[in-house]
Structure 1
Amino acid sequence: MKKIPGVISVLIFCLLITACQSQEAKRQVFTEPQYDWGKISGETLTVWGSAPDLERTYIQKAFQRYEELTHNQLEVVQYSKDEIVEKMTTALNQGEAPDIFVSYGGTNIDVYNPDDNFYDFSQAKWINDLTDTSINQTVYHGKIIGLPHWEASVSGTLYNKDIFKKYNIEVPKTQEEFMSVCEELLSHGITPLYMPAKEISMLLYQFPLDSIVEDSDILNQLNQFEIGYEDIPEMLKIVEWYKEMATKGYFGDHYLEDDWNGMSPALESQKYAMLLCWDTWLYTDFKGDASQFGLMPAFLGVPYNGTFEGPNLNLFMVNKKSKKLDVALDFITFLADPYNYNVAFENIPTASVFKNQVGSITTYQYLENERLIEKNYRDSIAWLRIKEFSQMDAICIYEYIHPDSQMSAKECLEKMTALRKSRINQ
């Protein structure tokens, strides 16, 4: 019996060595280019995107590798999220658009008239290398509008496992259980959920909305403006959830002033137990111990068993009127080659965007909850497919949950619908 621990140690050691060797072997699979690129050199491409998107580690590595291997240059320009639409639409109208434009897809790019301005990659060889989730993000009017070269996260509720264990709290499985957990946490002096409400886009009402617009009839009616948010009973439950959470103190005392910058300190402080977010945030922005946190569904009133939202992927799109179209297409082929993207994504915590993506690592939170995620997973439908959808419409929810607000839930939704409609003719 005394020999068993030693045997186990040897077995664990062997498994670790095998795993390392297996991972190393995987990384050696693509030792040469898989596509034809790099025959053009001495050129400069302009790349535009929203700040600070193009500063991510894997993007910087890809850009540097491109310049080193092709001897071309990239002139990267980033605009704030408030500026980018105006800058890009003006540039397109004046014939001065960049060679490459980086943006999220779906209805987010309606304003840029993609059919007229962006290259159609429907015949590109790399399409077969995209995962199903990735390819869903690229489709615009039945065409592949760009290359998804981005991190793939899974969104839900991050929770502090040590706090849950300390107070013998079970991870909730339903909306009612979630509310009971919040009450239990509050009774122990722990603020249940850090809600950075001042950061309007972090109110994340699209998480539950995804489950609603899975119904194609509802999605079509919204897009044709035959109905508004106020006509959907589940939407009333969603905004009422925010109000109830705020009123009961489940967001804490300062939620109206809490913002993005407070997210990491809040979770590090052990004074907050949960945060609506995506798993990769724990590895890109969180300053504490990522392994301390688990991932459970987002419980925002609906659906009953909560939901996980799939990733939103930035697309690299090509200005098809560019004077350097051949160079721009060559650059996209470079990014799409597993010989290159596996170097860029090496050791980056993300689910796979490409089928041959072997350099990145899957987050512990995803691995721990893979079956539950598969069961309650939804693609990012609302954000991509609802015409004129904007995360910033949550400003109405912000106003609704203000302690002095006299607004009703229906009035909140009517204002959100009005904001959507106001963007149609802009």
Structure 2
Amino acid sequence: MSKKRAASALAILMLLAGLVSGCGGNNNAGNTNDNTSPATSGTDTSGTADKKNVTITLSAASDWIKPVDNEIIEDFTKETGIKVDVQVIPADQYASVLKAKLASGEGPDLSIIWAEANAAQFQPQDNFIDLSSEEWVGRMTEAAKKNSTYNGQVIGWGPEGENAGWGLMYNKNIFEQYNLQVPKTYAEFTAISDTLLGNGITPVYEPLKDSWHSGIWFALLGPAGENASAGLYQNLNNNKATFDAVAPFVTFLDQYKEAYDKGYFGKDALSNTYDKHMVSMESGKYAMTMVPANEDVQSKAKGETYDFSKYGMFPAPFADNQSLAVYDGSLIRVVNKNSKNIDAAKEYLSYISRADVLKKFYDATGLNPAFTDLPQKQDEIEKSLRANSDGTVNTIMETGIKYWDNTVIGNYVVEMLLDGKSSLDVLKAVDKDRLKLFSASE
């Protein structure tokens, strides 16, 4: 890394440390097995090196590594002799901890990070190798390849093909009981919410204690912003546009605040946590909650036995939005340029891309495959979300916009709910943060 780039990376790290309390994402903070040791040193695995003495480190936030991942890691070690040390970091600290490790030159051999434009926060040009020539890249779906690409290079391995993002999952039985229809506009949403409140049911289970969740709501408005201002994503990523000038973003924040003030999120919203969303929905006390389109798939992978046949999903109609903000894939695994075990790390990625290993992984998780070896798949909740949308899609801002952080933005939104900021204040704060990061990266 050049001195100029090293200084730039450290400057960005210092700014991010001041701006964030941790990472945003689709996970609540949970199990904390925070092994912060640097990447294990060892010989490169390219020649006749004794692989039994090689350990590669893999960093992940809470809940990112599933039971099947651990099984596959065990199989990989048995077959190759290469050990994998999974370093789990609390979700609300993940981004800042990983950035600190990378900036210090002591980053893990492999890391799991956000994809596409939002990978910029980790300085991919300085920290991650180009994987474009790897055999498995040629078997990726087009969406998954796009998801793993940064500045024209495939920098990561992602397990999932396109999914429809997030939506409001609703209890169909409750809707039928009160003769409610899926809302297409914010006015229709308020009407059904008023009916629910009048019958003693809290309209939405909203876990505001996990502030990143509010950031997800906002991230879903990307397509509405792009529709209102063509080229918005590109202009934001080139630092030629600002959030405060996008009318649908102002409308969304005003309406989200109104929904909170009207009690649509309930009296316990500020203490609600994301890990309780399914238990809360099953209680019948809530009619809706914001979750991923593959909520049923994720639940099954965890060994849960909820009956999802009673649930449907629709796009949150704030700012009257009916477009889907999709993920072209999911979080990606990247290889550290400064690793002493690059070949071993690449061997791990090749192993988990094998047809037999992929079959084991997808049989256990039910995810939509990122590889053409297996047919593309949508489960029932995602089908419901797509059917209730207007059919148009765009990439979610969480991955499509540089320097997006769900936790940072969510914290600003929560401040707004508590009357600490106006909608415009939130947008100006996001713009100010991003301007500093752009300036530091130049």
Per the TM superposition, whether the score is higher than 0.5 is: yes
Aligned counterpart, 1:276:
290
Aligned counterpart, 1:33:
none
Aligned counterpart, 1:166:
177
Paired with 2:181 and 2:390, the residues of 1 have a C-alpha distance of 20
Q: Secondary structure at the match of 1:122?
A: coil
Confirm or deny that 1:76 pairs with 2:86. Answer: yes
CA contact (8 A) 1:105 1:315 kept: yes
Paired with 2:280 and 2:437, the residues of 1 have a C-alpha distance of 35
Aligned counterpart, 1:399:
415
Q: Which moved more, 1:305-314 or 1:197-206?
A: 305-314
Q: Which moved more, 1:215-224 or 1:170-179?
A: 215-224
Confirm or deny that 1:212 pairs with 2:225. Answer: yes
Paired with 1:134 and 1:158, the residues of 2 have a C-alpha distance of 25
CA deviation string 1:55-111 (max 9, x = no partner): 312322321221232232112212223444444344434443322122122344324
Q: Which moved more, 1:242-251 or 1:105-114?
A: 105-114
Amino acid at match of 1:338: A
Matches within 5 A, 1:24-423: 41-150=51-160, 153-154=163-164, 155-203=166-214, 204=216, 205-213=218-226, 217-285=231-299, 288-303=306-321, 305-310=322-327, 313-357=330-374, 362-368=378-384, 370-372=386-388, 375-380=391-396, 382-392=397-407, 393-402=409-418, 405=419, 407-423=421-437
Paired with 1:121 and 1:335, the residues of 2 have a C-alpha distance of 14
CA contact (8 A) 2:205 2:266 kept: yes
1:316–1:42: structure 2 CA closer, same or farther, 3 Å change rule? same
1:89–1:348: structure 2 CA closer, same or farther, 3 Å change rule? closer
1:92–1:197: structure 2 CA closer, same or farther, 3 Å change rule? closer
Return the offset for 1:338: 1.8
CA contact (8 A) 1:45 1:99 kept: no
Paired with 1:335 and 1:345, the residues of 2 have a C-alpha distance of 11
Q: Which runs of 5+ in 1 are unaligned?
A: 1-36
CA contact (8 A) 2:323 2:390 kept: no
Paired with 1:129 and 1:335, the residues of 2 have a C-alpha distance of 13
Q: Secondary structure at the match of 1:354?
A: coil
1:417–1:302: structure 2 CA closer, same or farther, 3 Å change rule? farther
Aligned counterpart, 1:22:
none
CA contact (8 A) 1:283 1:290 kept: no
Larger Rg: 1
CA contact (8 A) 2:223 2:323 kept: no
1:406–1:116: structure 2 CA closer, same or farther, 3 Å change rule? closer
Paired with 1:220 and 1:345, the residues of 2 have a C-alpha distance of 34
CA contact (8 A) 1:152 1:350 kept: no
1:110–1:45: structure 2 CA closer, same or farther, 3 Å change rule? farther
Identity of aligned pairs, percent? 21
CA contact (8 A) 2:60 2:111 kept: no
Paired with 1:51 and 1:79, the residues of 2 have a C-alpha distance of 5
Q: Secondary structure at the match of 1:301?
A: helix
CA contact (8 A) 1:62 1:341 kept: no
Q: Which moved more, 1:165-174 or 1:199-208?
A: 165-174
Paired with 1:68 and 1:374, the residues of 2 have a C-alpha distance of 49
When normalised by structure 1's length, the TM-score is 0.81
Q: Which moved more, 1:293-302 or 1:194-203?
A: 293-302
CA deviation string 1:111-144 (max 9, x = no partner): 4321232111222222232223212211101110
When normalised by structure 2's length, the TM-score is 0.78
Amino acid at match of 1:78: V
Amino acid at match of 1:328: A
CA contact (8 A) 2:143 2:162 kept: no
Paired with 1:186 and 1:225, the residues of 2 have a C-alpha distance of 43
Amino acid at match of 2:225: I
1:238–1:363: structure 2 CA closer, same or farther, 3 Å change rule? same
Q: Which moved more, 1:120-129 or 1:233-242?
A: 120-129
CA contact (8 A) 1:198 1:257 kept: yes
CA deviation string 1:297-325 (max 9, x = no partner): 2222242x353533651111112332222
Paired with 2:347 and 2:149, the residues of 1 have a C-alpha distance of 21
Q: Secondary structure at the match of 2:169?
A: strand
Q: Secondary structure at the match of 1:47?
A: strand
Paired with 1:113 and 1:195, the residues of 2 have a C-alpha distance of 33
Q: Which runs of 5+ in 2 are unaligned?
A: 1-45
Paired with 1:353 and 1:52, the residues of 2 have a C-alpha distance of 22
Q: Secondary structure at the match of 2:290?
A: strand
Return the offset for 1:222: 2.5
CA contact (8 A) 1:297 1:376 kept: no
Runs of 4+ with deviation above 6 angstroms: none
CA contact (8 A) 2:236 2:242 kept: yes
1:103–1:423: structure 2 CA closer, same or farther, 3 Å change rule? same
CA contact (8 A) 1:44 1:72 kept: yes
Equivalenced residues, count: 385
Paired with 1:407 and 1:323, the residues of 2 have a C-alpha distance of 47
CA contact (8 A) 1:159 1:275 kept: yes
1:192–1:89: structure 2 CA closer, same or farther, 3 Å change rule? closer
CA deviation string 1:25-55 (max 9, x = no partner): xxxxxxxxxxxx9x98435332332322443
